[in-house]
Amino acid sequence: MNERIFRAKAPLRISFCGGGTDVSPYPEERGGLVLSSTVDKFAYASLRPRTDDRLRIRSLDYDVVANYHRAELEYDGELDLVKAVARHFRMPVGADLFIHSDAPPGSGLGSSSTMCVALVGVFGEWLKVPMTSYEIAELTFRIEREELKLAGGRQDQYAAAFGGFNYIEFLENVTVVNPLRIRPELRHELEYNLLLCYTGQTRLSANIVESQTRSYQEGRVPVVRALDRMKALTQEMKTALLTGDLPTFGKLLHVAWVEKKQLDEKVSSSRIDNLYGLARRHGALGGKILGAGGGGYLLAYVPFTKKHQVARVLTEAGGTVVPFTFTEDGLATWSVAG
């Protein structure tokens, strides 16, 4: 028998504006908007079917090797994401699964949801389950938010499944992905003026999201107002991007970051404030912490003549500047001879 190995990779994303408006119940009640793009950092999954009933998982990110019986996958806090995807697809036999990501969990690049998209992709490739990008994103969302009860929004699943620059609308009963046609020279120029810096700290985004959600449900005016304002800023940033007004795009990043910090006190920290302050003092027009906040990656828009200066001071302050490029493709799956 010719054995096959099944593989999947899904891109991580940079969210420019609107994160938080995709977290229920805000989008159902007021409608959410997110502007994002995928980048050349990925979550990977490889699967080799077995002849027995064992599910053997090796996670490079968590440095874990675990063995389970495919019919006895209990949620216990260890590799639950993998177990939930395996349970959904009702594995006919066991499998060896190897997973890893280019960014650590809690980095703010959507690594957990992106890994879930890659897992859905690799199981779908193995079991020949046809799914559209919308179906993959929705299934991933249901596994994370409904099956596992993990707090969070729904932008990461759609970004990873679709890929590219997207303006995503989150409505009461539907999510609409609007791919943006960005001219190549404009995409390159934006890339040239953006700086990505790892702060050296990760965080558990679910805690921040849960706190933000409580505040919104309690009707706290600063939080509701900030979410509404971020939604409006997302529209403004989309216009600036499509018309090629990148300096305005950079300045709006700063305005959006000020609003985002209103969502919860844990969104920022003294270290984040220090790094962002350094970037601003040395020429950054704007920036933000990616994801829910509290750590992970800092994104800054810096005119290219000052980019090297900002990179230097952030590095001296303990940050790590990470090169990246934008990508156009979403989830990819394939198989090779074993």
In the listed set 156, 181, 206, which residue is the last one of a domain according to the structure? 181
* Average pLDDT for 31-42: 97
Percent of the chain surpassing pLDDT 70:
97
What letter represents residue 37's amino acid?
A: S
Specify whether 189 is located in the same domain as 166.
Answer: no
Q: Give the pLDDT confidence score for residue 293 in this predicted structure.
A: 66
DSSP symbols for 60-102? TTTTEEEEEETT----SSSSHHHHHHHHHHT-SS-EEEEEEES
> 32 in helix, strand or coil?
strand
Q: Give the pLDDT confidence score for residue 135 in this predicted structure.
A: 98
* Average pLDDT for 242-258: 97
Specify whether 169 is located in the same domain as 309.
Answer: no
Percent of the chain surpassing pLDDT 90:
80
pLDDT grade for 109, boundaries at 50, 70 and 90: confident
Pick the range with the lowest mean pLDDT from 4-13, 43-52, 161-170, 205-214.
Answer: 205-214
Range of the domain at 152: 4-181
Note whether residue 50 is domain-resident.
yes
Specify whether 234 is located in the same domain as 151.
Answer: no
Q: Which residues contact 227 (CB under 8 A, 6 or more apart)?
A: 20, 21, 26, 30, 216, 263
Note whether residue 336 is domain-resident.
no
| Given the residues 22, 102, 156, 264, the one annotated as active site | 156
CATH, residue 93: 3.30.230.10
Note whether residue 126 is domain-resident.
yes
Whole-prediction pTM: 0.94
Q: Give the pLDDT confidence score for residue 1 in this predicted structure.
A: 45
Distance CA 107, CA 103 (A): 7
> 318 in helix, strand or coil?
coil
Specify whether 226 is located in the same domain as 284.
Answer: yes
Res 320 pLDDT > 60: yes
Across the chain, the runs of DSSP E, i.e. the strands, are 4-17, 32-49, 54-59, 64-69, 95-101, 165-170, 175-179, 194-198, 286-289, 297-301, 320-321, 332-337
CATH, residue 304: 3.30.70.890
Specify whether 275 is located in the same domain as 293.
Answer: yes
Q: Give the pLDDT confidence score for residue 268 in this predicted structure.
A: 86
In this structure, are residues 64 and 57 in contact, taking their beta carbons and an 8 Å threshold? yes
In this structure, are residues 213 and 153 in contact, taking their beta carbons and an 8 Å threshold? no
Whole-number average pLDDT of the chain: 93
Specify whether 265 is located in the same domain as 124.
Answer: no
* Average pLDDT for 94-120: 91
Res 206 pLDDT > 70: no
Q: Give the pLDDT confidence score for residue 189 in this predicted structure.
A: 97
Distance CA 237, CA 249 (A): 6
Q: Give the pLDDT confidence score for residue 298 in this predicted structure.
A: 94
Specify whether 58 is located in the same domain as 75.
Answer: yes
Q: Is residue 156 among the annotated active site residues?
A: yes
Distance CA 193, CA 305 (A): 9
pLDDT in tens, 178-205: 999 999 999 999 999 999 999 987 655 6
Q: Give the pLDDT confidence score for residue 264 in this predicted structure.
A: 84
Note whether residue 310 is domain-resident.
yes
Note whether residue 334 is domain-resident.
no
Residue 321 burial class via C-beta count within 10 angstroms: exposed 0-12, middle 13-18, buried 19 and up: middle
Specify whether 117 is located in the same domain as 161.
Answer: yes
Note whether residue 23 is domain-resident.
yes
Specify whether 162 is located in the same domain as 235.
Answer: no
What letter represents residue 251's amino acid?
A: K
Q: Which residues contact 160 (CB under 8 A, 6 or more apart)?
A: 10, 11, 12, 13, 38, 43, 110, 113, 114, 117, 118, 137, 140, 330, 331
* Average pLDDT for 117-146: 97
Distance CA 225, CA 233 (A): 12
pLDDT grade for 81, boundaries at 50, 70 and 90: very high
Specify whether 159 is located in the same domain as 225.
Answer: no
Q: Give the pLDDT confidence score for residue 292 in this predicted structure.
A: 62
Specify whether 202 is located in the same domain as 105.
Answer: no
111-139 residues labelled b (16+ CB within 10 A) or e (exposed): bbbbbbbbbbbbbbbbeeeebebeebbbb
Q: Give the pLDDT confidence score for residue 269 in this predicted structure.
A: 87
Distance CA 299, CA 289 (A): 6
**Domain count of the chain?**
2
